[in-house]
Structure formats: structure tokens, C-alpha cells
């Protein structure tokens, strides 16, 4: 007799492979605790970022106020920015001198303004209460204090060098002396700290350019062989008169003498031969031994021009030699009023000399009364 066993097929549809029914095969879900930790961390990061932005904004706002508000300076002050000075060194120096209150804020403010590479060297004047922004704009503009150094016409190169060496706004050693006459006589505006050698080089180049320009436009029939003689004669004209309107007339006398082969007989030439670029000591009289001195610069003894210039000629003297007045005059002498009287003949000249001597005698007599 066969046995029947209960069939399991009735429950097959309710089972999943794996032996534990439908719930046993599903993936696990994260716990609520794990999800809470991630949310907390993200919230913390967002909070920190938010407060960081607020902090940075507050710092920038404060820094902007410090950068733009009136500074600590109580009275006008100057500050020198040397060449090739870093922004950090400038900021430290300004703070050390009481012009700004905080070098760090100035440093960052200048960088944020995009002006770190625009600050100029020089000596700057700052008004009381100037802000850091005002300081930055002043340094950025390059509007520095300018100092004047004047080299008069008729000075020797040696005397010009003395003035340049004594100028305390300049820096650095003096270079070797340039040839006599080859510096531009002018008033120069310079910044404090400019190198003396740089100023001398500028003066030399400007004089060379001016001399060549005037030489190239000269009258064609001048009894002058080269540009060196041109500067030499111009320096003699410069030393003979300080009146600009007289220079073409004085130049005509020397040009006429050169054409006739006469000696120039110029007092400044023999004095240069005796005393050189240092010049005759102040108050020292001109002696007969000076007049009779045997030097190549004594135009009472030599014919023609001396071997080189005796002073720095200015533009007016150079122009006078390049375009002398058309005259027949061969002589001139002081007229007692600061100018000169000119003559064509020796007799006329001697009479003029006597008149001048009489004026001088009368002046001495009045001075003794």
C-alpha cells in the first residue's frame, strides 16, 4: 500500500531562495544615528564657512576704514623713498616715521588696489592727517619734491663741480672732470638722492647736443677751424660780458681780430692761464706778472685762440659766435655802467680807455669822502 506525503508545493510561492522567506534577502538600511552624524558634520562645515566669510568681510571692512581714515600725522612731514625699495620696506618706513598707523594694512591695501608696482622713488611731502590711501596716491603719482641746482654761465667746470659736490640733496661721489666748457649752464630740478655722476652726465650730454646744434647752423665764413675752437671763442665772449645783448658785438670784435691776424688781448684768458679752473681768488688784484704770464692761454702773447675753453659758455654766447654782428670794430672797453663801448681805431679806443679811467678815479674819490 503506497504512502502519501504532504506536498510542500502549496507554500513554494511564499518562499525566496535562501531558506528564510522574503524578508531575509533585502539590503540593510543605514541607521538613523549614522545619518545624523553626516548631517551634523555638513551643518558644521556650512556654519564655519558662513562665519569665515563674515569674519573676512568684517576684517576687510575694518581694514578699508583704517586705510581711508585720517592718519596719525600731526604736521607736515617729508619722507624719502630710495630707488628699488620694496613695498614692505616702504610701509615699515612710513609707519616708523609716524606717517601711517599700520604698515601691514598699508601693504595689503596697496596690493589690493593693484598699485604695488606703481610706487615711485623720491622725496615726498605729506600733509597732516593724510590717510593711507592719500599716501599711496602721492607715491603712485611720483609728485615728489624738486630741488634746484644752478650752474651759471661763465663758471668753469672746476667751480661747477664744487657746487655739485656741495649739494646735499645729491648722493654718491663726483666723477672725473669733463673737458672745460662741456657742461650745460642751467638750473636743474633734481630729486633728493639723485647720483652726482648722473647729473654730471646729463649736463655733459645736453651741452654737447646744444653746441653741435648751434655749430651746424653757424655762418659759413667764420675764421674758426673746428667745433673745439668754436666753444673756445664762445667761452671768451661769455667771460668778457654778462650782458646778453652785447655778446654778438663782442664776438664781432674777436672775429674781426682773427681775420686780421691780430692778438685777441682778452684779460680772462691770461687769468685762466695763471689760476686755471679754480679762478683768481676773490679780492686778489690783477698784477703785471699776471698780464705778462707766459702761458698758452695768454692772448696778449699768443696769436689766435688759446688751446681750449676758459669757461662754460651758455647758449647766448654760442649763438653770438655762430652769428656775430657785422661790424668793423676791433676794440672795446668798459663804459663804467656795466657795459662796453666799441671802436674801430686804436686812437678812438685809447680815448675811450681814458674816459673809463677818469670814471674810476672819480668813483674812488667819492668812496674816500
Three-state secondary structure readout of 219-283: CCCCCCCCHHHHHHHHHHHHHHCCCHHHHHHHHHHHHHHHHHCCCCCCHHHHHHHHHHHHCCCCC
Among 35-49, 125-139, 204-218, the least confident range: 35-49
What average pLDDT does the segment 335-352 reach?
A: 93
Indicate the average pLDDT of the chain.
87
pLDDT score at 25: 53
Same domain, 172 and 248: no
Residue % of the chain over a pLDDT of 70: 84
Same domain, 295 and 362: yes
pLDDT score at 29: 56
**Residue 274 — pLDDT band, cuts 50, 70, 90?**
very high
Q: Domain count for the chain, please give it.
A: 3
pLDDT score at 179: 97
Residue where one domain finishes, among candidates 90, 110, 141: 141
Same domain, 362 and 255: yes
Q: Are strands 147-150 and 187-190 parallel, antiparallel or unpaired?
A: antiparallel
pLDDT score at 43: 66
Same domain, 180 and 251: no
Q: Is 206 helix (H, G, I), strand (E, B) or coil?
A: helix
Same domain, 130 and 180: no
Tens-place pLDDT, residues 306-322: 999 999 999 999 999 99
Amino acid at each position: 500500500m503506497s504512502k502519501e506525503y504532504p506536498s510542500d508545493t502549496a507554500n513554494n510561492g511564499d518562499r525566496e531562495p535562501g531558506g528564510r522567506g522574503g524578508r531575509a534577502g533585502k539590503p540593510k538600511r543605514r541607521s538613523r544615528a549614522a545619518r545624523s552624524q553626516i548631517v551634523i558634520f555638513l551643518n558644521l562645515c556650512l556654519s564655519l564657512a558662513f562665519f569665515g566669510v563674515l569674519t573676512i568681510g568684517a576684517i576687510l571692512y575694518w581694514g578699508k576704514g583704517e586705510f581711508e581714515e585720517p592718519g596719525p600725522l600731526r604736521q607736515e612731514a617729508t619722507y624719502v623713498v630710495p630707488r628699488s625699495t620694496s613695498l614692505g620696506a616702504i610701509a615699515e618706513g612710513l609707519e616708523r616715521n609716524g606717517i601711517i598707523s599700520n604698515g601691514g594694512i598699508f601693504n595689503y591695501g596697496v596690493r589690493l588696489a593693484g598699485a604695488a608696482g606703481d610706487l615711485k622713488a623720491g622725496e615726498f611731502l605729506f600733509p597732516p592727517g593724510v590717510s593711507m590711501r592719500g599716501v599711496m596716491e602721492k607715491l603712485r603719482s611720483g609728485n615728489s619734491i624738486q630741488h634746484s641746482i644752478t650752474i651759471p654761465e661763465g663758471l668753469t667746470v672746476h667751480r661747477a663741480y664744487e657746487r655739485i659736490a656741495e649739494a646735499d640733496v645729491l648722493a654718491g661721489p663726483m666723477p672725473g672732470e669733463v673737458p672745460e666748457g662741456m657742461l650745460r649752464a642751467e638750473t636743474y630740478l633734481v630729486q633728493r638722492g639723485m647720483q652726482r655722476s648722473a647729473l654730471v652726465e646729463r649736463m655733459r650730454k645736453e651741452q654737447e647736443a646744444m653746441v653741435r646744434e648751434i655749430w651746424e647752423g653757424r655762418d659759413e665764413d667764420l675764421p674758426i677751424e673746428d667745433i673745439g675752437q668754436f666753444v673756445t671763442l664762445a667761452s671768451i665772449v661769455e667771460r668778457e660780458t654778462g650782458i646778453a645783448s652785447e655778446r654778438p658785438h663782442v664776438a664781432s670784435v674777436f672775429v674781426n681780430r682773427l681775420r686780421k691776424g691780430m692778438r685777441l688781448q682778452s684779460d680772462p684768458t691770461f687769468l685762466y692761464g695763471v689760476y686755471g679752473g679754480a679762478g683768481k681768488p676773490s679780492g686778489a688784484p690783477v698784477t703785471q706778472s699776471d698780464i705778462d704770464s707766459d702761458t698758452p692761454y695768454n692772448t696778449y702773447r699768443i696769436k689766435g685762440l688759446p688751446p681750449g675753453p676758459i669757461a662754460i659758455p651758455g647758449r647766448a654766447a654760442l649763438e653770438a659766435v655762430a652769428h656775430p654782428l657785422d661790424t668793423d670794430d676791433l676794440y672795446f672797453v668798459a663804459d663804467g655802467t656795466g657795459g662796453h663801448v666799441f671802436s674801430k681805431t686804436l686812437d678812438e679806443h685809447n680815448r675811450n680807455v681814458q674816459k673809463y679811467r677818469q670814471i674810476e678815479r672819480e668813483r674812488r674819490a667819492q668812496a674816500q669822502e
